[in-house]
Amino acid sequence: MLSFITNDQDPLLDFVKDDPVRPEIPKEFRVGPGRFVSALVDGDNPSAMVCVNLLDFVPADVADLGKQVEEATTAVFYTIWSYAPGAGARLLQETVRQIKEQFPTVNTFVTLSPKTELARRFHLKNGASIHRENESTVNYLYNI
């Protein structure tokens, strides 16, 4: 089951302690205006989690996250991790579907990924292309 976590008191938010990509971002930052965590949940535990920021531009670094916008056009996946093989890809697909339903103005889906081989392989394998290389990040574009 897909769960959008929007409340900083949601017990699923405690699993962000396992975030291998952006562990420095506090759990309270991950939910708020234009920000949420999406999780594939099996029972009481997630099989994968992704943090999403809705913006009206493609961010170049973490400092761009959290900016409030009037009308979001871009969903930014800024960290993802999985507890089960294949769950990350499935989570991305289901999250995109749900975003398109709940936020019809969003038409661009990008990442704010670290410059690592693991991130490159994951995103290219799952159908993304390199949109832009920044100083410390890469934006991968998913053509949905």
Report if residue 143 sits inside a domain: no
Question: Does residue 25 fall inside a structural domain?
Answer: yes
Residue 50 lies in a domain: yes
Any idea what the CATH number is for the domain that residue 79 is in? 3.40.630.150
pLDDT digits over 8-60, tens only? 999 999 999 999 999 999 999 999 999 999 999 988 899 999 999 999 999 99
Maximal CA-CA distance, the chain? 40
- The answer to whether residue 24 sits within a structural domain is yes
Domain that holds residue 38: 2-113
pTM (global) more than 0.85:
yes
Q: Count of residues for the chain?
A: 144
142 found inside a domain: no
Name the residue among 59, 53, 60, 68 with its Cα closest to residue 106: 53
**Per-residue pLDDT tens over the stretch 53-110:** 999 999 999 999 989 899 999 999 999 999 999 999 899 999 999 999 999 999 999 9
